[in-house]
Amino acid sequence: MGPGDPAVDRLVGFRAMGAPVLSAYVGVPPDPSEIKGVHARFLSVLQPVRDMVESDAFTHAQRESLRTDIDRVLEVASRATEMHGHAVGVFACRLADLYEEVQLPKPVRNRAIVDATPYVRPLLEVLDEAHRYLVVVVARDNAWFYEFSLGKLEAGTRVKGRHQRKRDYGGWNGFDEYHARNRAEELARRHYRETAAVIEEMLATTAAELVVVAGHEETVAEFLALLPRALRDKVVGSFVVDPHTMTPGRVREQADDVVAGYELREETRLVADVLDRVGSRGLGAAGLRWCLLAANEKGIERLLVHDEREHPGRTCDRCGWLGLDDQECPVDGSPTRPVPDVIDEIASVVLASSGRVEHVFTDTRLETLGIAAFLRFPVPAPA
């Protein structure tokens, strides 16, 4: 699941005119003994919304819609025994016929937000981190392939070398042994090339983005040296494991560490690249006000957001303009309405215009700026 998935795309593009949308995120403890307290956790997260329903901010129809949506979220608590150590995001609006329930592979901050649009940033953050990747455990005569997505094993396959030699050392002399060793090396190289072909086929037929290689240290080195350049660029790291004692769970743990290290390096590189663009007056923007201007012009190719940075703002429901404090839309003069997190609104605009959103969790200069963007075309900085 990710941008391009029908459920995510529907949430990103959803607008409920005059109908309140409830977005709730609740984490489930990994310890089964704590499951009994999950219902109380759901109640606690939803209590501010329950209090809000009784205010004069909503019409009778909106209040009834929210009450129904609260009950639907509470029903999820009864299924929490299936979600140890995970989280769930629920997006509901009975008036606008919206209900999406997404299980997330790791806990997120518990919260419930009511707005005219689904609050998708926590969902996007998790999906941004959760790469679909392929782990290849390679030996000299076998290879094992594991595909992981959202922290789960999607598929596992073993491919046996087709050119294994029989080992019979009885009566061999030094000359025979020399040729046998050369033959063994040639068979291993042929097996490595066949394994590389399988990787290329799997990358072409699945949604895997990254490749991690594992095995004995010397075997991994031999295999990587034979990979074509284009395929080697897909490999984000490797780790040492004994193919005869490994388990899928252990493979996932070690591969997750490799992918996390890659993600940190990639985040650092992206921040450096975008700030270089800003400094050289290239296609880059930095800071909330500048990125708002770029979002309003649909000029953001890739948005970078530091961690869970949030900022309230305003939007115009008629034309989609986004800003910080204008009570009147500067584009068409319509009244604007407040939004709890204008960065979430920017992210939705970027995704809706075929851009990308990256959340940066490592320490970079983005921590001070909060937000930056690679641009499609020049957008002058605000005065």
Q: How confident is the model at residue 176 (pLDDT cuts 50, 70, 90)?
A: low
Share of the chain above pLDDT 70, in %: 90
> pTM of this prediction?
0.77
- 169 and 202 housed in the same domain: yes
* 17-22 average pLDDT score: 91
| Domain boundary residue, one of 128, 153, 184 | 128
Q: Give strand pairing partners of 25.
A: 89, 111
Give the best-scoring range by mean pLDDT among 119-133, 148-162, 165-179, 326-340: 326-340
- 9 and 84 housed in the same domain: yes
The answer to whether residue 255 sits within a structural domain is no
CA R_g for the chain: 26
| Closest residue by Cα to residue 148 from 214, 85, 207 | 207
- 227 and 299 housed in the same domain: no
* 253-271 average pLDDT score: 93
Number of domains in the chain: 3
Domain that holds residue 197: 133-246
- 146 and 118 housed in the same domain: no
CATH of the domain at 139: 3.30.420.60
What is the pLDDT, as a whole number, of residue 32?
67
The answer to whether residue 256 sits within a structural domain is no
Share of the chain above pLDDT 90, in %: 62
Q: What tens digit of pLDDT does each residue of 31-85 get?
A: 766 667 888 999 999 999 999 998 888 999 999 999 999 999 999 988 877 777 7
Among the listed ranges 180-184, 202-206, 299-303, 319-323, which one has the minimum average pLDDT value?
Answer: 180-184
Mean pLDDT of the chain: 88
- Write out the two tokens for 256: 């997750």
The answer to whether residue 253 sits within a structural domain is no
Give the best-scoring range by mean pLDDT among 160-169, 268-277, 303-312: 268-277
- 276 and 308 housed in the same domain: yes
The answer to whether residue 242 sits within a structural domain is yes
Distance CA 105, CA 89 (A): 11
- 178 and 240 housed in the same domain: yes
| Domain boundary residue, one of 87, 107, 128 | 128
Q: How confident is the model at residue 356 (pLDDT cuts 50, 70, 90)?
A: very high
- 152 and 121 housed in the same domain: no
Side chain identity at 252, as an amino acid letter? R
- 120 and 32 housed in the same domain: yes
CATH of the domain at 331: 3.30.1330.30
The answer to whether residue 335 sits within a structural domain is yes
Cβ atoms of 308 and 125 within 8 Å: the answer is yes
In this model, does residue 153 exceed pLDDT 80?
no
Q: Residue 121, CB half-sphere, CA atoms under 13 Å: how many?
A: 25
